[in-house]
Amino acid sequence: MPSEHVQRVLRLEVPVIVRLAERPMDLSEVLRLVPGSIIELHKPADAELDFFVNDRQIGNGSAVKVNENFGIRLTFLGTPIERLSAATAAPMKQESADALAEQLLAGQI
């Protein structure tokens, strides 16, 4: 059974981002964009998507359709410590989940 500290941390909401692809564009190109513009991405259509928590990649997966929405089927996830540390601004040492949760709740991370 997780400790009270770990249970409290597990209830925190964190931003989750699924990135299809990225590419650099000149500012002049960005200013010419209009509704209906198409931006070519240099990534194959069947390539895996990147899965982020708090702007830190913790996994990847493939796009799926869930009813009328998009979803992601995860094919790789980092360790529980990597996923917990993604909730913080700084990387953490390999410690117990309880110690990490206690530090996070105490504002030490």
Range 4-21+43-105 classified under CATH 2.60.40.730: no
Q: Is the pLDDT confidence value at 52 over 90?
A: yes
Distance CA 3, CA 6 (A): 5
pLDDT digits over 1-47, tens only? Answer: 667 777 777 787 888 999 999 999 999 999 999 999 999 999 998 89
Q: What is the DSSP letter of 52?
A: E
Sign of the CA dihedral 63, 38, 16, 103?
Answer: positive
For the chain, give every domain's residue range. 4-21+43-105
